Structure 1
């Protein structure tokens, strides 16, 4: 008979080298990715059969090489220790541009070459030049549109969410979710004020911010965050930290949100009463909090629910969707999250799915738990949103229990 513990030990031993190789490979991604992002479009647009005049080839190649060198340097200076806003803007814009060029050089390049060959366009150079101009045209249009999408005030996404345990007195409760505002190098103080104005038109009972409020410290981004003080809610305004707070002195953001009149739910809850029924509104620190080294910061669901009646419905704020595994195991009714940005620039959502169970929208987990994942209100890094629009979310909570007629 095979000993089960011995088998597991053998499997663990076999998996250890694989994990070690994967970690070693991950170290090289920051070096490999920029090369691929710039080299693939350069080769596809300039060298695959086009035979451009020499000055065009030289100038085009020089631009791609300049992008390859400038992007990582600017990203390092902008998002590293120096936190130089101008460098961050340049690096992030180059990152978004290279991603769009890479994507459409690969996808449109292959498909269009095949279509042109089937259509009988005989000269390979003719096909290659048509592909080049098509890719440049599509990429340029998507970048212009994506920039406008990123900078506009998000549209409101409204949906009804029925919670089986929600009491009739809470039916129709209006919950507004904003998240991932990412106040940062591009000054968005006016945008922030307009977002808050739109939130106030929704007549919310509860307004939630599920983290990644900014890139930079609270002191540095205070002017952009200040309009959050104007947000109105009939019951409460609540906030939890995201992973980006832990890159920028998270406690400073917790203190500033408290100063602006928001209730930071750091592994704690409050009770929302209406019509004789009660909803537990709980929040946890981001899952990266513990590794940040900040004393007392960690995602602790038991602490968040400590003292709450287990028979009451629970709305949980947790920045990352992957926290839903813990939420479902504990029977949480509704979790609100952000973090994913819906991928932000298509088709990046496929990579997001490697790390998160859901990219956007409503999903069901376990026997009771519903998760809503917002595409985010702002944007991180590249000032583009392509096929992943930002949103302000209005969730109207519905009870299956109807009041008894008198």
Structure 2
């Protein structure tokens, strides 16, 4: 019979080097990422056959070096201990610019160069300069468009969702979802007011905010969040924490939302009643809550549903889509989430997909559970949204149990 303790020891010894390499890679990422983001475009635009005059090449190279040095320094000053908003805006903007420039330098540098070669268009330097101007043109257009998309009041996305267990009296219940407002270094108090006006125009029965209200403490971002107090709903306004609340002072955000008239659903539920039927509206803290060390903060679905009638349909608020595995195991009817931003800046969604089961929209999980994932109402960090539009979501709940017409 094999010695299982020796097998386990061998497996553990094999995993240890892999985990050590992964940790080393993660520690090196803050250095590797900026180098790639700035050096690849620099080479594609300046040194892949263009033969620019020395003065042009030197000046452009200096700009890339300035970005390579300035971006991480600004982000450290902006998001580190100093929390300097102006530095954060500069660092975040440079991050967005470098990501778009890197992406399209790679794509156009390969695809366009290959297409020009196949078509026999241009030779040597001429072909290389066509690639350079194509990269710069596409990048400029996408950044201008992405900035306008990020700063606009989101479009309303309406969706009818049928819940098999929903009573006829609740048919037509209007649920508005906002999430990931990310009030932050770039002041958006006016934008916040306009978003709340758009929400009020939808005449919701229930308004939900599924977390990531802001980057920063409630005291610091209060002016941007205060318009949330003007949001109207005929039944309730409910809120759950996101992971970004736990980067600062989560309890401060819970207290502020309570002050503004929103009901924080911290592992608890309420009943939404209409027409003689009831819907359980439950909420859980974000999955990062327990590791934050804050007393009483954790994602506890059993606690959220404690005392609820198991025959009633359940609408669950959970910031991250990946919580849906637990929701499906408990037979939740509909989970509302955010967190992904739809990737925010294409093609970042491929990386988001590694961590989350879905990027945006409606999906089914298990026999009963539906998940709706919003692309988010605001933006995080870089003030750009490229091929990932923000949204205010209107979900109209439908019952299959309507009485037959007479």
TM-score, structure 2 as length reference: 0.97
SS at match of 2:158: strand
Partner of residue 270, structure 1: 270
Distance 1:98 1:213 in 2: 26
Question: 1:6 deviation in Å?
Answer: 7.2
Distance 2:135 2:160 in 1: 41
SS at match of 1:266: coil
- Asked if 1:35 corresponds to 2:71, the answer is no
Range moving further from structure 2, 51-60 or 164-173: 164-173
Deviation digits for residues 351-376 of structure 1 (CA, Å, limit 9, x no counterpart): 00011111111111111111100000
Question: 1:24 deviation in Å?
Answer: 2.0
Partner of residue 103, structure 2: 103
Partner of residue 146, structure 1: 146
Partner of residue 17, structure 2: 17
SS at match of 1:145: helix
Partner of residue 50, structure 1: 50
Unpaired stretches in structure 1, ≥5 consecutive residues: none
**Superposition RMSD in Å:** 1.4
Question: 1:17 deviation in Å?
Answer: 2.9
SS at match of 2:266: coil
Distance 1:401 1:49 in 2: 69
Question: 1:45 deviation in Å?
Answer: 0.4
Deviation digits for residues 175-225 of structure 1 (CA, Å, limit 9, x no counterpart): 000000000111111100000000001010000000000011111111111
Change (3 A) 1:12 1:404: farther
Question: 1:32 deviation in Å?
Answer: 0.4
Distance 2:318 2:87 in 1: 31
Partner of residue 188, structure 2: 188
Question: 1:21 deviation in Å?
Answer: 1.9
Deviation digits for residues 116-162 of structure 1 (CA, Å, limit 9, x no counterpart): 11111242111100000010000001000000000000000000111
Change (3 A) 1:291 1:271: same
Distance 1:203 1:13 in 2: 60
Partner of residue 281, structure 1: 281
Change (3 A) 1:90 1:283: same
Paired residues for 1:2-401 under 5 Å: 10-401=10-401
Unpaired stretches in structure 2, ≥5 consecutive residues: none
Distance 1:250 1:216 in 2: 10
Question: 1:267 deviation in Å?
Answer: 0.5
Distance 1:19 1:345 in 2: 30
Question: 1:109 deviation in Å?
Answer: 1.2
Change (3 A) 1:9 1:258: same
Question: 1:276 deviation in Å?
Answer: 1.2
TM-score, structure 1 as length reference: 0.97
SS at match of 1:220: coil
Deviation digits for residues 76-134 of structure 1 (CA, Å, limit 9, x no counterpart): 11111111000000000000000000000000110000011111124211110000001
